Amino acid sequence: MKTSLLRMSAVAAAATLMLASCASGTGGGGGEATYDPDATLEGTLNITGFTSTTDEIASTRYDLAVAAVGDGVDVKSDESGFDIQSFLAAVAGNSAPDLIYVDRTTIGTLAARGAIEPLEACLTGEGIDTGAFLKTPISQVTLDGDVYGIPEFNNVNIVIADTTLLDAAGASLADVDGSNWDALTDFAQKTAVVDGGAVSVLGYDTKMPEFFPLWAKANGVDILSADGKTANLNDPKVVEAVEFATGVYESEGGFAAIKAAKDASDFFGSGNQYATNTLGAMPMEQWYANVLSDVSPDAALDFTTFKSPEGDVVSYSSGSAWAIPAGSSNKAAACRFARTMTETDSWVAAAEARVAKYADSGSLFTGLLTANTEADAEIQDMVGTPEGNFGNAIAATYEANDAAFTVAGNPADSEFKTAWTDAINRVLGGEATAQEALDQAQTEAQDALDSAWADFGN
């Protein structure tokens, strides 16, 4: 009796186990698609990673794209940031979204896993000219000659300084734009106010670990070769740059205290660090100038390009891209949607919407970098060259856009980024010297790159 009961349970369990069969691959393709700019599209289009309601730049283009795919397509956007874990789980569960919007540095990892597909057919089909895009964004999304993403936005670095604090320290903009490391440290130490272990005024924010590639390049080194295959994280000049950038933090109260202060700050609001004179200067992505002109237009600010110790303009290019999952069920609509979001006319319409909005509120439009060179040129004309310090922001922005560099696209980009981010964090946390940390990062990164490229070919 007992055994037969157990036998029954065992059989039932075994049946279930058949379902939960041994670990097999589930990442299937969504099939081929035809791309025709004149075809009427239908079905659903599930978009992940894009928020259309952030501002008029997003919403204007979003509306245009929805119109472009036509009434036959039901466009659904989950309106939340891209979560690589959820995405991969969705792909694993055969329920991938149809179109994703991701940071360009994620493209490589996704392509390596076969989660997104090369866009060759989409580009030729819908008539998207990759030549119309800025070189650096395109290089970030290209692996082995195949383009995996359509770039949207180009973020570059400029230096934003609080002129009140500059004057108080007797420093000039040239002292804090990176062309003179000694002057920079000097300013930082003079300006920083640390009392009781808490940082109340931060002199200079070197933005480590995020801006590591910028500092390395400023000192003359590319952390990854142009073909995306060889890491160069422990080059002596890179070590030097890291020692400098992390050293600045040390002299201002230590990273832990600084980060705690940054965490509690009102970065996007009217109580931001510049408005409250609690930050001297920092390199920052150019869109922040727009935020500042919006929330604290009267703050004492000035802008310039970030420079290498040799005086050359250096700027790290980053941004987002549209990519089509391999398991997408509506690739045609996805392609057309992405095309519309990134084409010149849409960008111009978005910029016009912003100009109109700012005309009402009196804020200054400090420009928009789209990664689309044609759109950039037209918008630059719209923005013009206004007087004043925000005008300097605009000039710096466009100058930086021309000089931008980036880290080449590669199939191990998350591991690569993790390797150097962890290394810098180790240095900041006092757990290792720059040399030790970067040596470890170099090994980890190169291993990851080697195995990823080896797998990628297959």
Within 10 angstroms of residue 451's Cβ, the number of other Cβ atoms is 14
DSSP 401: H
> Least distance (Å) from another protein to the CB of residue 313?
27
* Residue of 132, 173, 260, 353 that binds another protein (CB under 8 A): 260
Beta strands 301-305 and 43-49: pairing type?
unpaired
> Least distance (Å) from another protein to the CB of residue 56?
17
Closest CB to another protein among residues 170, 429: 429
Binding part of the chain for another protein, among 142-150, 159-167, 330-338, 411-419 by CB under 8 A, reads 411-419
Compute how many residues bind another protein; rule: CB under 8 A. 74
* Residue of 43, 72, 79, 236 that binds another protein (CB under 8 A): 79
Closest CA to 154 of 392, 335, 316, 341: 316
Q: Which of residues 262-321 bind another protein (CB under 8 A)?
A: 263-269, 271
Q: Which of residues 346-375 bind another protein (CB under 8 A)?
A: none
* Residue of 256, 349, 353, 382 that binds another protein (CB under 8 A): 256
Give dist(CA 383, CA 195) in Å, integer: 43
Q: Which of residues 175-194 bind another protein (CB under 8 A)?
A: none
Q: Which of residues 4-43 bind another protein (CB under 8 A)?
A: 5-6, 9-10, 12-13, 16-17, 19-27
The secondary structure of 42-103 as a DSSP string is -EEEEEEE--TTS-HHHHHHHHHHHHHH-TTEEEEEEEEE--HHHHHHHHHTT---SEEEEE
> Least distance (Å) from another protein to the CB of residue 9?
5
Contact at 8 Å (CB) between 251 and 185? yes
* Residue of 41, 123, 261, 348 that binds another protein (CB under 8 A): 261
* Residue of 36, 42, 58, 114 that binds another protein (CB under 8 A): 114
Q: In a 3-state reduction of DSSP, which class is residue 208?
A: coil
Report if residue 454 touches another protein, rule: CB under 8 A. no
* Residue of 255, 322, 390, 453 that binds another protein (CB under 8 A): 255
Long-range contacts at 375-384 (CB < 8 A, ≥ 24 apart): 375/343, 375/344, 375/347, 375/348, 376/134, 376/154, 376/401, 378/344, 378/347, 378/348, 378/351, 379/347, 379/348, 379/351, 382/348, 382/351, 382/352, 382/355
Q: Which of residues 419-448 bind another protein (CB under 8 A)?
A: 421-422, 425-426, 429-431, 440
Entry field: residues in the chain = 458
Q: Which of residues 82-111 bind another protein (CB under 8 A)?
A: 82-95, 103, 106, 109
